[in-house]
Amino acid sequence: MAKLFKNYINGKWKASASGGTFENVNPANQSEVLGRFQKSNKKDVNEAIAAAEEALPQWRATPAPKRGEILFKVAELLLQQKESLAQDMTREMGKIISETRGDVQEAIDLTYYTAGEGRRLLGETVPSELKNKFCMSVRMPVGIVSAITPWNFPIAIPSWKLVPALVCGNTVVIKPATDTPLSVVNFVKVCEQAGLPPGVLNLVTGSGSDVGTPMTEHEKVNLVSFTGSTDTGAVIASSCARNMKQYSLEMGGKNAIIVMDDADLELAVEGVIFGAFGTTGQRCTACSRVIVHKKIAKKFTEMLVARTKTLKLGDGLKPKTDVGPLVNESQRTKVDNYVQIGTNEGAKLLTGGKYATGKDCKNGSFYQPTIFADVAPKMRIAQEEIFGPVASVIRVKDYDEALAVANDTEFGLSSGICTTSLKYASHFKANAEAGMVMVNLPTAGVDYHVPFGGRKGSSYGSREQGRYAAEFYTTVKTAYTAP
Ligand code: NDP
């Protein structure tokens, strides 16, 4: 029988009150069960939040540089264990080993950077209006944090939430996605080894409705940090608004790359390939719309299709694999449904569009990298987040039309342009309606020490990463003193 993994509450690994478990399956080889995890419920959540409440006074009283020292140790342990963490992650959710190593590396870099915030939680001192009155602001912990994370960056995204929350003096309960509990169990074990005191970080596995909902509704929770779909984000937003909690939401995207007629086409092809098919298209920053100037549309599309056909599908642990499976069967069905929708809408299927069933793919949730041409900007495949290896080529007559099409979406996470023109690049950086703008780069691929996040339906609340994270996980107190 597959190995049993438990919740982590108040410094102890313990079974759920429900007595139930669920299985975690390798999407590249569905007969491999990686483990059984706790099917937790509201009782477990209440226990974890009680532990976080009990640990809070001592943790918030620990000097921030000392909290940072424990987190530096977390970074060192992540570095030591990087390869095994990456291998577990590939087996758990399918992305290729070079990408899962990158996922862990992002957590390492972010943790080193953010642990240093323990010495940089800056406030202000300002002159007062009154004589002999001293006026300052300081940053204080917010309290108890609920962190709810998705499956596509199973260690990086938890690190974006946990590390800043902890260095700022908050205590945390985390719920990983049902598809990736193992990576978060591994991360929490590292935090335990680093010496994080009991109750400061608690882990509860289980479904969104049984665990996520009570984590967002509990009266003792002060802040909810969520990454996932826009639909779930809307549910969490209304719950937090009703209960006066602070919250931030990182959600979906429908990111575009514009390819102008003066672009370096080989560079543009590589950017689109990485953006559209990296992580099998399951990134919030994936490039799913390719907006191409009519003068180079034919040549560029031929180059893109030819390059797409060279991609090798298979188990992400094999070094020659370029594209792994989708995370599960329901994601594969969703992608296939969108391919049917695109075909019915009149888009032209140039390559892909089917389940991949070759010898390296027969046991997993593989889907052929897919490209549509003749896509109109208002088609559903050009408007809705597919979250799979599907790119839509949209032909435009000039830069103005390209920009209008790029911005014509309910999302606003990342947006890119390939051009050698400073004029277009500068105008695009100023006018793209997105939180992140890329020139001659893929829409995905970000640095951890600058803000991450978007506009419109992609994000709500504070940016993650960089110094913005420390601002979100603290509350400002203004203090006046007179002699
Ligand atoms: P979901 O919204 O389905 O799930 C995200 C997390 O929320 C999971 O842990 C899920 O649990 C949990 N959840 C589900 N329902 C509720 C609820 N009612 N209350 C509280 N928690 C709930 O998204 P996916 O996991 O499918 O992730 C993919 C999505 O995430 C994509 O849309 C993608 O764009 C977005 N994303 C955004 C990023 C960004 O930074 N902008 C980065 C990465 C992904 P369970 O797994 O048990 O259902």
**What tokens were used for 181?**
């509990």
User: How many whole angstroms from 150 Cα to the centroid of ligand 1?
Assistant: 5
Half-sphere CA count of 4, side-chain side, radius 13 A: 11
Residue 443 has pLDDT above 90, yes or no: no
What confidence tier does 431 reach under pLDDT thresholds 50, 70, 90?
Answer: very high
User: How many whole angstroms from 462 Cα to the centroid of ligand 1?
Assistant: 18
CA distance 129 to 430: 39
pLDDT value of position 25? 97
pLDDT value of position 352? 98
Structure confidence by residue, pLDDT tens digits, 79-114:
999 999 999 999 999 999 999 999 999 999 999 999
DSSP 8-state symbol, 278: G
Contact present, 84 and 182 (Cβ < 8 Å): no
Structure confidence by residue, pLDDT tens digits, 162-174:
999 999 999 999 9
Residue 467 has pLDDT above 90, yes or no: no
DSSP 8-state symbol, 462: S
Instruction: Assess whether 284 carries a catalytic annotation.
Output: yes
Residue nearest to atom 32 of ligand 1 (CA): 229
Residue 399 has pLDDT above 90, yes or no: yes
pLDDT value of position 100? 98
Q: Which is nearest to 282 in space by CA: 253, 312, 316, 314?
A: 253
435 lines ligand 1 (CB under 6 A): no
User: How many whole angstroms from 230 Cα to the centroid of ligand 1?
Assistant: 8
Q: Catalytic residue among 168, 191, 240, 284, which? A: 284
Strand segments, DSSP code E, in 166-212 are: 171-175, 201-203
Instruction: Assess whether 135 carries a catalytic annotation.
Output: no
Q: Catalytic residue among 99, 250, 385, 464, which? A: 250
Residue 446 has pLDDT above 90, yes or no: no
pLDDT value of position 56? 98
Q: What is the mean pLDDT of residues 132-145?
A: 95
Residue 462 has pLDDT above 90, yes or no: no
User: How many whole angstroms from 387 Cα to the centroid of ligand 1?
Assistant: 12
What confidence tier does 466 reach under pLDDT thresholds 50, 70, 90?
Answer: confident
Structure confidence by residue, pLDDT tens digits, 199-223:
999 999 999 999 999 999 999 999 9
Residue nearest to atom 16 of ligand 1 (CA): 208
Task: Give the atom of ligand 1 at the shortest distance from the alpha carbon of 215.
Answer: 20
pLDDT value of position 194? 98
CA dihedral 458, 162, 467, 78 (to 10 degrees): -110
239 lines ligand 1 (CB under 6 A): no
Q: What is the mean pLDDT of the chain?
A: 96
Residue 11 has pLDDT above 90, yes or no: yes
pLDDT value of position 442? 87
228 lines ligand 1 (CB under 6 A): yes
Structure confidence by residue, pLDDT tens digits, 289-318:
999 999 999 999 999 999 999 999 999 999
Residue 479 has pLDDT above 90, yes or no: yes
pLDDT value of position 468? 87
CA distances from 367 to 104, 264, 315, 323, 337 (A): 25, 29, 13, 9, 12
What confidence tier does 1 reach under pLDDT thresholds 50, 70, 90?
Answer: confident
Q: What percent of the chain has pLDDT over 70?
A: 100
